[in-house]
Chains A and B, each alone.
Chain A
Amino acid sequence: KAGVTQTPRYLIKTRGQQVTLSCSPISGHRSVSWYQQTPGQGLQFLFEYFSETQRNKGNFPGRFSGRQFSNSRSEMNVSTLELGDSALYLCASRQTSGGYNEQFFGPGTRLTVL
């Protein structure tokens, strides 16, 4: 079974631009979560989508948004990029939103903002 895939793997943008990252979950998984990983703040939860609806949200500004499509694929968008948005963005999928079931992470998209 294929794992979680993320595209692109690397991205360079300049301040003020916007960016869209894509995530394809494991087949059959309906929950997709996004995380930001930086050396200073570590791994932080951004939001979770399940059945095309945002279920949970972390403490990030409104510049960070996402969506999920009917095939469970998800996109994350960051508008008006800031230098501090440089990070590894990780997507994770799991079968359902409720209860405990293992999350599987993708390899991440490394975003550099210049």
Chain B
Amino acid sequence: QKEVEQDPGPLSVPEGAIVSLNCTYSNSAFQYFMWYRQYSRKGPELLMYTYSSGNKEDGRFTAQVDKSSKYISLFIRDSQPSDSATYLCAFPGYSSASKIIFGSGTRLSIRP
């Protein structure tokens, strides 16, 4: 079993829709939970990070963590074409915060 599972998509939704992206993980030692966004031909950029169960909101983005189920989600409200990118869940390694373990990424396309 892989440490992190993420549906690779692709996921295509119309503009304005609510998008739900999800990851499951197996290592209960993970303490921080992150979402990165990667545009084509660019490096990943940190979108959100949290270290507790529950919800964290930042504008149109909401990160949700359920530690008991080892499940994290990212919700995008009022999706825009500029949100079209690959979204990666990520977990700083338990031995080093630099050793980030990434999900495989979900490719998202927002149709105008």
- A residues engaging B (CB < 8 A)? 4, 31, 33, 35, 42-45, 48, 55-56, 58, 90, 92, 94, 97-108
Contact = CB atoms under 8 A, between A and B. Distances in A.
Interface of B: 32, 41-46, 49, 88, 92-93, 95-105
Contact of A105 (B44, B49, B98, B105): B44
A100 B102 CA distance: 16
Contacts of B95: 56
Contacts, number: 61
Contact of A90 (B44, B49, B93, B98): B44
Nearest to A49: B98
From DSSP, what is the main secondary structure of chain A's interface residues? strand
B95 to A, nearest CB: 7
A55 B32 contact: no
A107 B105 contact: no
B97 A100 contact: yes
B99 A103 contact: no
B43 A45 contact: no
Given A42-B103, A42-B105, A100-B32, A56 B44 contact: no
Contacts of A101: 97
